[in-house]
Amino acid sequence: MTNKIILPDTLLRVLRKKPGTSLRKIHAEASRRSFYRLCSGRSTLVAMVYPEPMPAEVERFCAVQKIYHDRGLRVPRIDQVLGDQVVLQEDLGDLLLQRAWRSAGSERRRRLLTGCLEILERLAAVPPTLAVTRLDGARQKWEMDFFIRHFFSRFTVRSIRPDLLRAELHRLVDRIAAENTFAHRDFHSRNLLVVKNEIAIVDFQDSLLAPRYYDLVSLAFDSYLDLGALRGRLFPNLTASGDDLNLGQLRLTALQRNIKALGTFAYQMVANNHPAYARYIPRTLRHIRGHLAVLADPKFDTLVKYFNSVLNEINPKSQAPNSK
């Protein structure tokens, strides 16, 4: 038996005013919001529906959309705001970068990465004062504790004490430079849409002030898509200059970001019954092993032992790090 869709009255009124409009649910695994495609003839819109009236969330979404739009970043145009629960937006299709990459040839992939770099540069140029929240050290440490609570508790290693693992994770956060850059917060291949010859950004409402390389590493070491040998095109200036301090910050930020992702995957798998997230764990573990190998820091010995053990258990044939 299928669950009956209960739509807000504001959206139902719009549908009644346009007889013949069809409504189709859009799959969105990890979001509390629901998404629907409204089709009327050749015209389509996407309805983003919050689970209940949430005026502050709707207001924040619209405010952040304006920040992006005003700076030439491609985001869905807002058609209408229906009360405190529904936002009707331009329909930009559903061709995720994740999917477009798989079918693209080498030249097309280079153009896609160039487009991503342009977006990253524009995001970094947004005045930090426009961010209303911060991804500070306290929040990042909470994410590391979340990882221990949900991932470590599911993938335990007998020889690893959780208190020692937590201490190293908190030490990792302490070594990441303070947040100073406007960031999307979740800049990866499932939040980027390929629309003709450009890349559009979605799921941007949680933008905040973050460590300098946060968005860059979110894509470069994406859990959903392996860029392989083209990864270095995302930070050519760093690799060319050989700036060890900046490269170290890039790897520390990426390490924290990937560990945070594992906590999210484990939570989605168990608490929200989304087993599909299991497929992204091995790649994320390989990224983590690569970061630790590059950092080569004895203060992270517990992390090295733990993640090597988990990766070997999940994927016994895993070879040398591929994220250098």
DSSP codes joined into one string, 192-225:
EEEETTEEEE---TT-EEE-TTHHHHHHHT-SS-
How many CA atoms are closer than 13 Å to the CA of 146, on its beta-carbon side? 20
Domain ranges of the chain: 20-90, 97-314
Give residue 1's pLDDT.
39
What CATH architecture applies to the domain 97-314?
A: Alpha-Beta Complex (3.90)
Nearest to 184 by CA among 64, 28, 48: 64
- DSSP H stretches of helix in 18-161: 55-70, 97-103, 106-124, 137-147
Give residue 125's pLDDT.
96
Q: Which helix (H) or strand (E) holds 283?
A: helix 281-295
Q: Would 20-90 and 97-314 be classified into the same CATH topology?
A: no
End-to-end CA distance of the chain: 49
Give residue 322's pLDDT.
54
Which residues, given as ranges, of the chain have pLDDT below 70?
1-5, 316-324
Report the distance separating Cα 312 and Cα 303, nearest Å: 14
Tokens of 185: 């917060």
**Spatial contact of 189 and 219, defined as CB atoms under 8 Å apart:** yes
How far from 230 is each of 70, 114, 161, CA to CA, in Å?
30, 11, 37
Give residue 298's pLDDT.
96
**Spatial contact of 137 and 149, defined as CB atoms under 8 Å apart:** no
Long-range contacts of 305-312, Cβ-Cβ distance < 8 Å, separation of 24 or more: 305/157, 305/159, 305/160, 306/152, 306/157, 306/160, 306/165, 309/157, 309/159, 309/160, 310/155, 310/157, 310/285, 311/282, 311/285, 311/286
Report the distance separating Cα 264 and Cα 223, nearest Å: 11
CATH superfamily of 20-90: Phosphorylase Kinase; domain 1 (3.30.200.20)
Give residue 238's pLDDT.
84
